[in-house]
Amino acid sequence: MVKPQVSISPARAKSGDPVYMSATGCTPRSTVLSHLLRPNGTEYNPLRLRTDERGELTHKIDTTMLSAGTYEAWIEDEASKAESNHARFTVE
C-alpha cells in the first residue's frame, strides 16, 4: 500500500504570504482530512479536501491569520485510513 506524502512550500513565509501543501499517494478521486497543528500544540478543525484522478492535491494555506511560529501539517486518506508524513513550515 502506498502511504500518502505531503510537502510544504515554502518552508518559511511571512504572515500573509501563501503557503502550499501538496499531497501524493492518496486514493484517486476521494477525500482526505487535512490537519494543521498550531505552534502551541493545539489543532485547527480538520478540512476535507478532494483528490484528483492521480490521487494528488494541492491546497493553499492562508497565513494571514496565523501567528508567528512553526506549524505542522499532515493528511489522513479517508478511504484507506493511511496517514501521511508530518510536514512543517514556519510563519515569521
Omega prior to 10 cis, within 30 of 0: yes
Question: For residue 7, is it left (φ>0), alpha (ψ between -120 and 50) or beta?
Answer: beta
- 12-13 and 87-91 beta bridge pairing: parallel
Q: Is residue 91 assigned to a domain?
A: no
Number of domain units in the chain: 1
Return mean pLDDT, the chain: 97
Q: Is residue 48 assigned to a domain?
A: yes
Q: Is residue 22 assigned to a domain?
A: yes
CA-based nearest residue to 74, from 61, 87, 63, 65: 87
pLDDT in tens, 7-21: 999 999 999 999 999
Q: Give percent of the chain with pLDDT exceeding 70.
A: 99
pTM of the complete model:
0.94
End-to-end CA distance of the chain: 37
Residues in the chain: 92
How would residue 1 be classed by pLDDT, with cut points 50, 70 and 90?
low
